[in-house]
Amino acid sequence: MSQHDIVVMGAGHNGLVAAAYMAKAGKKVLVLERKPHYGGGVSTRELLHPGFWHDEHSNVHIMIQGNPMLREDELGLLSKFGLEYIYPDLVHVSIWQDGTVIRSYKDLDRTCEELARVAGDKDAEAYRRFVGMSTTALPMLMSGMYAPPFPLGAFVAMMDQSDEGRFLLDLMQRSALDIVDHYFDSELLKLHIVRMVTENLQMPDELGTGMGAFVMPGIVHSFGCSMPKGGSGQLSHALVRAIEHFGGEVRCNAEVRRVIVSGGRATGLELRDGECVMARDGVIGAIHPHVLRTFVAEAPEPVLQRAERVTQSTFSINLTHLTLKERLQLRVGNDCNAMMTELMDFYTVRDMQLEYDKLRRGEVSARLIAGGDNTIFDPSRAPAGAGVFYGVNFAPYDLHPGGPQSWDTCKDEVADRALAQYRKFYANLSDDNITGRLVRSPLDHERDSPASFVRGDIHGCAPFFYQSAGHRPTPDLGALRVPEVEGLYLVGPFMHPGGGVFGAGRATAIQMMDDLGMDYDRICGRAVQ
């Protein structure tokens, strides 16, 4: 039996962020990870051949760019622990099969010139105004993303006190499609914006997802869009270096069986092999609400029942990793390569919606694809001249008619259909250029992280309004703690502010420090030594 101040279940990036902050605060921290490597959804590995580095899950880092962890380098990740981001000028591009292209640059003026060419002057000016509104609202919205959330009722009451707040509250309850329909006329511009938003596993017409359509353009033109040099997992490597620098430890191949609860307090973690690791100050757990009962049966029954009713995202992804002899060439030219690349052969919103409707019925649409060659912006990801392809095909977890288990027999066939679609856009994505392939289905994602990616939901749970702010994932758990289990704190993509790479463990650390009577601002204001 070992003794620490804080023990953390799960070495995904959110758990590592919380651990790094607590270690910087002087706490003796131990992170336990079930898998033989850390990083969770933020990991980069040689999945197929030596020298080819693939992002296992997350690929592009967007929302974390507004986090003070990076903007103010609170942990020294950028200045001391080797994290370096690549920021291309071309952030987001939509490419249609007929060669039509819409480019979004970080520079707003340049983007509006592009939109005037494709969508017309009226929509270009409408987009400029739209981005202006988004950018104006960002400081208020971003300030709440990386800190403990307001209770949803208090948040709504606060927003309801001003015209600006009521405007945002209205957006939050609408769909992304409703937002773009209101502001723009061009079908192609609507597709350009909505397809990017659906990367968050949001249906275009699902109520409670409108904020994504409003916020994303502001973020793109304020912070840009990036990936770490060397792959997404370099963020996790930098976090582990920070934890170790501050005296903490990360241990892999250490599967947690349960949270140890004594006298109504979380006092440690019991491993699958029977080892107990005790914690003086508290436990941090990456525990999805659907499996909370498995790890913390001592939580109140109503809390557990509400946790098990949390809504998962409507769809997941079938992810294709390829190694390539030579880098990919877009048919429209490689000057169109962007950090986010959407590939479409539909030209109306209606046609797009029909494809998303298939996901609701348990069907896969080969037309809903995105992705590209990561070596275009980062040649270090493969041997000289070679490529690493990351291809996303939206797909349901619960396939019809075979159910989730049928993914094991059909994922390669589904990937074949997606590959045929990719070949409409890439000139050299031929069999003789592909030297290796690995397909990861929604079921594979769940197996990879069973305590986080439940039902293949790599974003934790659905981003609906009723699962936002202090109600994400439930009103009981939204305060980042488990009721009646003192000292147990939660992290993960299913917690506030949502799925994706946010660095959201910062909020958990703030809450924990506050409960322990520690001054977060004083601790994080000190230079890293």
Report DSSP letters for 293-334, one per residue: HHH-TTS-HHHHHHHTTPPPPS-EEEEEEEEESS---BTT-G
pLDDT value for 272: 97
* Tokens 């990861």 belong to residue: 440
The string of DSSP codes covering 370-412 is: EEEEGGGT-GGGSSTT-EEEEEEEEE-SS-TTT-GGGHHHHHH
Between β-strands 90-96 and 340-344, what pairing exists: parallel, antiparallel or unpaired? parallel
Q: Could you give the CA distance from residue 332 to residue 312 in angstroms, rounded to a whole number?
A: 37
- One-letter amino acid identity for 281? D
Which strand (E) or helix (H) includes residue 95? strand 90-96
- One-letter amino acid identity for 369? I
Q: Could you give the CA distance from residue 161 to residue 428 in angstroms, rounded to a whole number?
A: 56
Q: Which of 283, 134, 330 is nearest to 213 (CA)?
A: 134
Enumerate the β-bridge partners of residue 260. Answer: 268
Cβ–Cβ under 8 Å, residues 201 and 459: yes
Cβ–Cβ under 8 Å, residues 381 and 416: no
pLDDT value for 152: 87
pLDDT value for 527: 57
Q: Could you give the CA distance from residue 470 to residue 488 in angstroms, rounded to a whole number?
A: 17
pLDDT value for 165: 87
Write a three-state SS string for 250-289: EECCCCEEEEEEECCEEEEEEECCCCEEEEEEEEEECCCH
pLDDT value for 526: 61
Tokens of 465: 């309004």
Query: What does each of the 529 residues of the chain score in pLDDT, given as a tens digit?
Result: 789 999 999 999 999 999 999 999 999 999 999 999 999 999 999 999 999 999 999 999 999 998 999 999 999 999 999 999 999 999 999 999 999 999 999 999 999 999 999 999 999 999 999 999 999 988 888 878 999 998 988 888 988 999 888 998 898 899 999 999 999 999 999 999 999 989 889 999 999 888 889 988 998 899 888 999 999 999 999 999 999 999 999 999 999 999 999 999 999 999 999 999 999 999 999 999 999 999 999 999 999 999 999 999 999 999 999 999 999 999 999 889 999 999 999 999 999 999 999 999 999 999 999 999 999 999 999 999 999 999 999 999 999 999 999 999 999 999 999 999 999 999 999 999 999 999 999 999 999 999 999 999 999 999 999 999 999 999 999 999 999 999 999 999 999 999 889 999 999 999 999 999 999 999 886 656 5
pLDDT value for 164: 86
C-alpha 304 chain-centroid distance: 25
Which strand (E) or helix (H) includes residue 215? helix 210-223
